[in-house]
Chain A
Amino acid sequence: MQREYRFIGRETARKDGLGIVRGREKFIDDLKLPGMLQAKILRSPHPHALIKYIDTSRAAKLDGVKAVLTYKDTPPWKGGLPPHLGVLSNVLRYTGDAVALVAAETEEAAEMALDYIDVEYVPLEAVYDAEEAIKPGAPQLYPQFPGNSFPLACPWMGENSLQEVAMGDVERGFAEADIVVEGSCRYDNIPNPLPLEPPGVIAAWEGPRDLTVWSSTQTPYFLKMMLHYTMGRINVRSIAAHCGGSFGTKAVPWQLVFYAAALARVSKRPVKLFYSKAEHFAAYTLRLGSAFSGKIGIKKDGRVMAVAGEWLINSGYCSDAAQGMVAVGCGEVQLLIRCPNWAVKPKLVCTNRNASKMVRGYGGQELEAAFLPVLNLALAKAGVDPFVFFKQNYVKPGDDYFWRDGNRWVCRGIDYSAAMEKGAEVFGWKEKWKGWLKPSSVDGPHRTGVGVGVHGNADVGEDVSEAYVRLDPDATCVIYSCVSEHGTGQRSSLCKMVAEVLNIPLEAVSLAPPDSLVNPYEFGPVGSRGTYAIGSAVIRAAEDAKRKLLSRGAALFQCPAEELETKDGFIFRKDDPENKLPWKATGFDQTYMGYGRFEPDFSVPNFVMIFVEVEVDMETGKIAVKRVVGATDVGQIIDPQSLLHQMHGCLGSAGLDSAIFEESVLDKKLGRILNPNMVDYKWRTFLELPVFEAVILETPINTHLFNSVGFGEIVTSPAPSAVLMAVSNAVGRFFDTYPITPEMILQTPGKGRLKA
């Protein structure tokens, strides 16, 4: 039975809603500082080259140009994991790599100056495929990473960060299996998460070691720390603007900051760098390329006995989070499948294309999209229904898994079977599932097929959060939690939690601006950690403030604090609510500051299951997603509208549609992305919306006061493999690559011969 709440679980308007519909919220490109310059970047026309000669003197003399920088005169800051990228380099590693930086009074002047930089390049041989990059004799990107292979350690996740899935004895497992399949699948179409707002930053030096950064990050404090470590331990004040969508990609825009800060230092002026859409496409963040090849052994009843194989990951020309994504992916695949014997070895490779960085789905989507189609081969042989399989296999309370820190964790969450059942019922899985490679229905050239996918993440309790809550004499309160609004409604949801704890009107609660100068440490809203991790810190801070208030009240009422309660800015005895005192009566202009902290906890995985129905036209090859059902259990809904929004997000941010039409098309002769614009990069419009139903259960989860768990990050992850499965069933053949194009449908052997 759910508790009744005043705000939690109820529909309330977003705190920033009015600002958004009035066009008053300030995004990064809406900010202007006095004296601010505009930055532009000269980008490499070659996928791999050395700068033989560069001369900026003509550009520097142009009207309005205030700074021009090359690798020769940029500061020694270093980013990447392990650190391997300076601000600029004389080695260019992808088409679009930064060659030189310009800051000028206007964008036009900066743009024009790029044409006046004289460069001579020595083109080098380039490599694009991960398989090619690891071969002997392949062009090498970095001398310190022989074989183009990055080390897998991710120190910030712990000394023993997870670098593989290894347990049991796979040989024995295969011997015990009834069915053993071998196969491979590639999910390396490097779709672009592409938030509508391009990334941007403003950098201004307040002193030689004091930098202020405005950006569209959703994790301003984390960005501050990252810059502190990569920029020579300087003091960074990090301020976030309203974020026009991130999906992970804008969390740590350290490269943009490097560029803007280097220019700001030389020009002694604030510098803004705001990427064009073309740069956003071709020189910002892509999904990881992922390929799985290996062997899976199962029993006839669908129990998995052994999984062995290689997970080849292509991170593009650099890595700043891929090791973390590998660790999380290796953890997440264990949540999906109960199997005693594993030997999955990741290999992380760099190639001469734009980088893959942090994206929603964070390793799990990439691994599962490549791994599950291979598993499907085994399930098909055994004739096991994938829904039944997922239901049996998905992590249950008491099950264990190795998480990203390398430690073994035991699930103390809930059993999600009920949510799965409900999802299947709403979708009509039983009626529509006709067996592997069998369409649900056939109508002339139109065939429908269904697919299902599941995903969950124990990172909902990752990393550290801290918060303060200040009660003011006027019966309002302020939350200090370094979170910016990036679309999930997180800031508003935190206000709801605090309003609930203090039992005051929602209007009385506000959140300090997302500025690292005023807020305590906060890792930020990533990995669906907003509800549990950030929520816990904020709830604890509110409870702490309330405790202080009531202990002050205890002196005034001359009774133990436990006998007091507060509501709407008054303190009263629980047994005599009429006899009450306003907060302000507890002391002259007295405020109360509460503090809360959350420590990482990887024992409560969240969950989503996505059911998809597609219709394939065998004559044209067109694939239409007709219907999607998303099922989850979040313990307790905090904000119904935001939650539903997150569920719908399954269709966005390089999620579901990366199975059928979203891809960055890399020309492997020129080394260029051929579709860096919103016409050639395909996206789903209003006219192609599938019917979308959400099943959201609320079974209390052992997290915090509200027994709730976060959800948003995970929804895209199960979708690509579910769509692949649905299309396979519709057309009667398996696919081992993404996206499935109309051409591939038209090449299906025997297409159109199927009888209804």
Chain B
Amino acid sequence: MKENGLLLMVNGQSYEFKIGTGPGEVSPSHTLARTLREDLGLTGTKVGCNKGECGACTVLLEGTPVLSCLTLTVECNGKRVTTIEGLEDPETGELDPVQQSFLESGAFQCGFCTPGMIMTVKALLGDMPAPTELEIKEALSGHYCRCISHYHVLDAVGRAIGKRG
């Protein structure tokens, strides 16, 4: 990587950016949420508070859930980022089992909190084969859902665990 350049690997694709304040450049103050949404057009990542308080903007950084509104893009140099758009199979379009479970359980109302929750659950199930109900709730406790889809979300997580057999 050149100096004052930046390499991001988002959903399996590499993107190079120049660090700077010009058009199309990534400023050191830009958040990952902004880069994803504004520069890469990946608007599936939602911004609810832009302050690290609602969980809506959760993406995976090297497989770990992070709040993309509190993560600076420059911190992600050379790292792997996964967003909601990157969960489905790029060839077949087949949904990730977590997405499929959310769909089957109808685990959303307005759906604004959904991508963030799906990312958290994806990471949780990657780390733990069979999390307990408390562990699931703890993992999701930073996610605000005003429509109160919580009960259906818990159902979806159970379904996703079931899918893995």
Contacts and interface: CB of A to CB of B under 8 A. Distances in A.
Interface in A485-505: 485-489
A1 interface: no
B165 to A, nearest CB: 21
Interface in B31-52: 37, 42-51
A23 B83 contact: yes
B17 interface: no
A652 B145 CA distance: 8
Contacts of B54: 196, 277, 678
Contacts of A22: 44, 84-85, 87-88, 95, 99
A648 B150 contact: yes
Interface in A21-38: 21-27, 29-30
Q: Choose among B37, B50, B110 the residue with the greatest number of A CB atoms under 10 Å from its CB.
A: B110
Given A20-B108, A20-B114, A245-B112, A651 B148 contact: yes
A195 B54 CA distance: 11
B109 interface: yes
A677 interface: yes
A219 to B, nearest CB: 15
Interface in B106-122: 106, 108-115, 118
B141 A245 contact: no
Contacts of B106: 11, 13-14, 17, 641-642, 645
A17 B148 CA distance: 17
Interface string B55-82: 0100000000000000000000000000
B103 A27 contact: no
Interface residues of B, number: 53
Contacts of A113: none
A689 interface: yes
Contacts of B148: 645, 648-652
B46 A27 contact: yes
B58 to A, nearest CB: 12
Contacts of A246: 110
Q: Choose among A18, A198, A648 the residue with the greatest number of B CB atoms under 10 Å from its CB.
A: A648
Contact of A678 (B53, B84, B99, B111): B53
Contact of B109 (A23, A489, A689): A489
Interface residues of A, number: 54
A399 interface: no
B114 A649 contact: no
B51 A245 contact: no
Contact of A677 (B53, B140, B143, B153): B53
B22 to A, nearest CB: 12
Interface in B145-165: 145-154
A677 B43 contact: no
A649 B136 CA distance: 21
A659 to B, nearest CB: 16
Interface in A228-282: 242-247, 276-277
A486 B99 CA distance: 20
Nearest to B30: A108
A692 interface: yes
B138 interface: yes
Interface in A730-755: none
B43 A277 contact: no
Contacts of B145: 196, 652
Given A20-B111, A23-B115, A197-B48, A686 B84 contact: no
B111 A16 contact: yes
Given A13-B103, A245-B147, A645-B149, A24 B44 contact: yes
A362 B51 CA distance: 30
B85 A195 contact: no
Q: Choose among A24, A652, A683 the residue with the greatest number of B CB atoms under 10 Å from its CB.
A: A652
B146 A242 contact: no
A487 B111 contact: yes
Nearest to A678: B53
A626 to B, nearest CB: 15
Contacts of A648: 148-152
Contacts of B146: 193-196, 245, 247, 652-653, 683
A642 B146 CA distance: 15
Contact of A645 (B88, B109, B144): B109
A2 B87 CA distance: 42
A592 to B, nearest CB: 32
A198 B109 contact: no
A144 interface: no
A756 interface: no
A485 B54 CA distance: 22
A685 interface: yes
A645 B147 contact: yes
A478 to B, nearest CB: 23
A23 B84 contact: yes
Interface string B9-35: 000000000000000000000000000
A649 B109 contact: yes
B144 to A, nearest CB: 6
A96 B88 CA distance: 43
Contacts of B100: 21
A29 B44 CA distance: 11
A608 to B, nearest CB: 14
Contacts of B113: 196
A247 B152 CA distance: 19
Given A13-B103, A24-B44, A244 B50 contact: no
A641 B155 CA distance: 12
A689 B140 CA distance: 12
A687 B44 CA distance: 26
Nearest to B83: A23
B163 to A, nearest CB: 14
A25 B140 contact: no
Contacts of A487: 108-111, 147
A678 B150 contact: no
Given A653-B146, A687-B137, A21 B102 contact: yes
A17 to B, nearest CB: 5
Nearest to A29: B47
Q: Choose among A21, A197, A650 the residue with the greatest number of B CB atoms under 10 Å from its CB.
A: A21
A6 B110 CA distance: 26
Given A23-B43, A651-B148, A196 B48 contact: yes
Contacts of B142: 685
A180 to B, nearest CB: 40
Contact of B49 (A20, A245, A485, A678): A678
A487 B84 CA distance: 19
Contact of A686 (B114, B141, B152): B141
Given A243-B110, A244-B111, A21 B118 contact: yes
Q: Choose among B85, B106, B143 the residue with the greatest number of A CB atoms under 10 Å from its CB.
A: B106
A642 B140 CA distance: 22
Contacts of B136: 686
Nearest to B104: A13
B84 A689 contact: no
Nearest to A681: B53
A13 B143 CA distance: 24
B143 to A, nearest CB: 7
Contact of B140 (A242, A488, A686): A686
Contacts of B88: 22
14 contacts: A16-B111, A21-B118, A29-B47, A196-B113, A197-B110, A244-B110, A247-B146, A487-B111, A644-B151, A648-B151, A652-B145, A678-B54, A686-B136, A689-B151
Given A11-B106, A649-B147, 8 more contacts: A16-B111, A17-B103, A23-B44, A23-B85, A196-B48, A245-B147, A650-B148, A678-B51
Top 3 closest A-B pairs, CB basis?
A23-B44, A244-B112, A487-B110
